[in-house]
Amino acid sequence: MFPKVISALCFSLWVNSCVVSSAEDLFMTRALKLMSETPLIDGHNDLPWQLRIQFNNELNKVDLNTLTTTHTNIPKIKMGRLGAQFWSAYVPCETQYKDAVRQTLEQIDVVHRMCQKYPETFMFATSSDDIMKAFNSSKTASLIGVEGGHSLDSSLGTLRTMYHLGVRYLTLTHSCNTPWADNWLVDTGSEPSEHNGLSPFGKQLVMEMNRLGMLIDLAHVTVAVMNQVLDMSAAPVIFSHSSAYSVCKHKRNVPDDVLKRVRVKEGIVMINFYNDYVTCSKTAKLSDVADHFDHIKNVGGAGIIGFGGDYDGVTRLPEGLEDVSKVPNLVAELLRRNWTDTEVKGALGDNLLRVLKKTEEVRDAQRSKKPDDVPIPYNEVENTCRTSYGYQISGAARPFSTLPLVLALVLQALITLTA
């Protein structure tokens, strides 16, 4: 009798296991189907920085098909169904006032060369149309985001030059203040505010980004900067790799009141996978990341959500999301949590495509507007590494007139009202 009971129990456990396994397989099958229809667009990946650190950007010494020391390589990209990637052109804050522009240009260059070396895998992209062209050709669209305003050396000319080289977003700060914007560490109390958010030149720069059609990335800035940009930008904003502050109270994350404003602005928060931003601890699981997706959906709606893994820029990743190949697991988890196909496709890529298209529309509406060529006041950037050519200085820095900014703001308001 006893052996029969054991046998029946084992059979029951086996059946239940098969049922669970079958259900999980269905979620994964559905996830992969959705990813075949809509490109997974990731907002932030630091592979270019790893190429700098590990190989000094000598791509001839690297094979991305066999590289094993990074979260990202070509086999992992294919397994992860990565449709489009914003590759980060990042250089550390210690380059500020030194060689930040050169170092950033070299990071932009390495992304271009990566696409040239592996044309069967990557297609360089600068627009919403390019993303879809690459996706329809079974290639990973490769866009560039510059991570940190210090990379500009406070120059609108440098901003424009980087746009012409293909840069499509700028993270206004990294983890240091610039001469025109405060970074997120100010909100922790570990650094003083220098500008109460954005300086007048910082506001000029935001409006020039609107004119160019460059996405404004609010990851790494203070809440004050977030709100100032939301007040003035005609285009939607992005958070390329940030999570929900209410789930993990880290100042790199986005508070609920800002999430609501992002919804009104029709922007996007691309959720970061770094354990410290997911659980505010050194460990995390895939389900913890999904909790951020659920929270942002509940507060701001499914239309403001995207993926911003921060692969190769972080040291700790959740169990189940250890590298780029694992992202379909998260998509399946969202489906398991009763996300609709439309909501999932929005998070995968449709939301970001909408944001990019709207930014392009704002750019196109301002085609007749002249580039802003009023430089930052010299006294705001004066240091031993900077010359003063072009500034009319006679014993003191030239005073800065706010009239051009006021006129530009009025013009922006008129454009917005007539759009």
* CATH number of the domain to which 257 belongs: 3.20.20.140
Query: 376 to each of 200, 372, 395, how far by Cα in Å?
Result: 9, 11, 18
Given the structure tokens 């609709």, which residue do they identify?
340
Count of domains observed in the chain: 1
Domain assignment of residue 22, yes or no: no
Global pTM value: 0.89
Q: What distance in Å separates the CA atoms of residue 28 and residue 190, rounded to the nearest whole number?
A: 44
Residue 392 inside a domain? The answer is no
SS3 state at 307: strand
Per-residue pLDDT of the chain (419 residues; tens, 9 = 90+): 545 544 554 445 444 544 446 667 999 999 999 999 999 999 999 999 999 999 999 999 999 999 999 999 999 999 999 999 999 999 999 999 999 999 999 999 999 999 999 999 999 999 999 999 999 999 999 999 999 999 999 999 999 999 999 999 999 999 999 999 999 999 999 999 999 999 999 999 999 999 999 999 999 999 999 999 999 999 999 999 999 999 999 999 999 999 999 999 999 999 999 999 999 999 999 999 999 999 999 999 999 999 999 999 999 999 999 999 999 999 999 999 999 999 999 999 999 999 999 999 999 999 999 999 999 999 999 999 999 999 997 654 444 445 455 555 555 655 555 55
| pLDDT given at position 414 | 58
pLDDT at 164: 98
The DSSP call for residue 109 is H
- Alpha carbon distance 289, 215 (integer Å): 25
Select from 183, 256, 186 the least CA-distant residue to 221: 183
Whole-number Å distance between alpha carbons of 257 and 280: 20
Write down the pLDDT at residue 363: 98
305: number of CA atoms within 13 Å, CB side? 26
Q: What is the pLDDT of residue 399?
A: 43
The answer to the question of residue 288 being in a domain is: yes
**Residue 11 lies inside a defined structural domain of this protein:** no
Question: Catalytic positions, please?
Answer: 44, 46, 147, 174, 220, 241, 310
The DSSP letter of residue 369 is: S
| Domain around 169 | 27-378+399-418
pLDDT confidence of residue 413: 58
pLDDT at 18: 45
In the DSSP assignment, the letter for residue 337 is T
Q: Residue 228: inside a domain, yes or no?
A: yes
- Asked, for residue 349, whether it belongs to a domain, the answer is yes
Residue 17, in any domain of the structure: no
Backbone angles phi, psi at 141, to 5 degrees: -65, 130
